[in-house]
Amino acid sequence: MWAVAQEQRGAERGLDTIAEATRLWREHGWSDAAAGMAAVTSLMRAQQLVLARVESVLRPLGITFARYEVLMLLVFSQRGTLPMSVIGSRLQVHPTSVTNAVDRLQGAGLVERLPHPTDRRATLVAITDEGRTVADKATAALNSEVFGRLGLAEKDLDALVGILSRLREDAGDFATRKPR
């Protein structure tokens, strides 16, 4: 990760650029929006840092976080099989992102594409034995090297999840199902 490389080549603890930006926001009379600006900017930066850590753990396994999410969705499904569209709506990503991820997973032999038995428009994605193996290894690595070592107290983790849950709900996340 880029920040780490900079950090490692010897640096003193620097300023928090987000705290600095917040101060400037208030100085310019945008106090009403300062907290929101700080929250959005923090979110962007934190996501970038965490994603980089996750990707570095997954890289040796030949997958990315996006593909890992697809694999876990399949692992947790009853038959190890899901339509592309369901994957997209669970992960809240564009259909093209699903196509992309499945293409690469299929190329690596971790999933297969099967025709949907009743809907000829749809495509079923099925996880392979090798896919399950990789998913297991990835989960073990992520649990021990990232999820279990975020540097936050359990209380902070829970608070973070709760706050982000409210934010996601307001922004229109939360799986949607077709009416009826």
13-72 residues near a second copy, rule: CB under 8 A:
13-19, 21-22, 24, 30, 32-40, 42-51, 53-54, 65, 72
Distance in Å, CB of 150 to DNA, minimum? 19
Cβ atoms of 92 and 86 within 8 Å: the answer is no
Residue 9: φ, ψ to 5°: -85, 30
Closer by beta carbon to a second copy, 113 or else 149: 149
Partners of residue 113 on adjacent β-strands: 125
* Helix (H/G/I), strand (E/B), else coil: 81: strand
> CB 82: neighbour CB atoms within 10 A?
22
How is the beta sheet containing 81-83 ordered, strand by strand?
A: 81-83, 123-127, 111-115
Q: Does 99 bind DNA (CB under 7 A)?
A: yes
Query: Of residues 79, 107, 118, 172, which one binds a second copy by CB under 8 A?
Result: 172
Q: Which residues bind DNA (CB under 7 A)?
A: 1-2, 5, 9, 48, 52, 64, 66-67, 83-85, 88, 91-104, 113, 116, 119-124, 178
